[in-house]
């Protein structure tokens, strides 16, 4: 079973970007942790990061038929992107939304997610663990529905 991990804008800067909010691990560290988890779960993993909304939309579109599901951190596009929301719906893939920080404990413009309503569920506030829990939740969900 193949799973796609997607990271949105500015997440390539992790490690140096506001470490008090996002922690000190780099994107490479996170992908490596998820790779280790995937091997233990017997999964094939692909990772993808883009700062560009259209590239994220295109990647979700291409993922249909190629992967069993997606763990997605849409980053700032969470709060703005109808296009990513529509891409998730159109893909008919199970998507788990994850965030490093607890967006509800931050500025009010981060309280709304346009993407979460079309996802299977959302996990936030646990740092890198949000991704690990998201991957586990997606696999459990797939085992239930497949
Ligand atoms: C984030 C939260 C978003 O509000 C923010 O724009 C990000 C990262 C998180 O993982 O906590 O870039 O998605």
For the segment 118-137, what is each residue's pLDDT rounded down to a tens digit? 999 999 999 999 999 999 99
> 99 catalytic, yes or no?
yes
Of 7, 77, 99, 131, the catalytic one is 99
Average pLDDT over residues 17-21: 91
User: At residue 81, does pLDDT exceed 90?
Assistant: yes
Measured in Å, residue 98 CA sits from the centre of ligand 1 at: 9
Largest CA distance in the chain: 40
Average pLDDT over residues 2-29: 95
59 Cβ below 6 A of ligand 1? no
At 145, is the pLDDT very low, low, confident or very high (cuts 50, 70, 90)? confident
| pLDDT, the chain, mean | 97
Helix spans in 50-125 (H): 53-63, 82-91
Question: How would CATH label the architecture of 2-145?
Answer: 3-Layer(aba) Sandwich (3.40)
The enclosing H or E element of 31 equals: helix 27-41
Question: Is the separation of the CB atoms in 128 and 142 below 8 Å?
Answer: no
DSSP bridge partners of 71: 5, 96
Measured in Å, residue 8 CA sits from the centre of ligand 1 at: 9
Residue with the two structure tokens 């529509």: 86
Its sign, for the CA torsion 129, 118, 69, 5, is: negative
> 131 catalytic, yes or no?
no
Question: Is the separation of the CB atoms in 24 and 15 below 8 Å?
Answer: yes
80 Cβ below 6 A of ligand 1? no
pTM: 0.96
At 146, is the pLDDT very low, low, confident or very high (cuts 50, 70, 90)? confident
DSSP code, position 49: E
Backbone angles phi, psi at 5, to 5 degrees: -105, 125
At 39, is the pLDDT very low, low, confident or very high (cuts 50, 70, 90)? very high
Average pLDDT over residues 69-77: 98
100 Cβ below 6 A of ligand 1? yes
At 77, is the pLDDT very low, low, confident or very high (cuts 50, 70, 90)? very high
């Amino acid at each position: 079973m193949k799973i796609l991990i997607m990271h949105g804008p500015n997440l390539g800067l992790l490690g140096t970007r506001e470490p008090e909010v996002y922690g000190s691990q780099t994107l490479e560290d996170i992908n490596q942790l998820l790779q280790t988890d995937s091997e233990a779960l017997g999964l094939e993993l692909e990772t993808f990061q883009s700062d560009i909304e259209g590239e994220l939309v295109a990647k979700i579109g291409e993922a249909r038929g190629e992967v069993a599901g997606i763990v997605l951190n849409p980053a700032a596009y969470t709060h703005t992107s109808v296009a990513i929301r529509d891409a998730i719906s159109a893909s008919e893939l199970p998507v788990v939304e994850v965030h490093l920080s607890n967006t509800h404990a931050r500025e009010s413009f981060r309280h709304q997610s346009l993407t979460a309503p079309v996802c299977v569920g959302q996990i936030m506030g646990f740092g890198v663990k949000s991704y690990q829990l998201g991957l586990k939740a997606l696999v459990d969900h797939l085992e239930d529905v497949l």
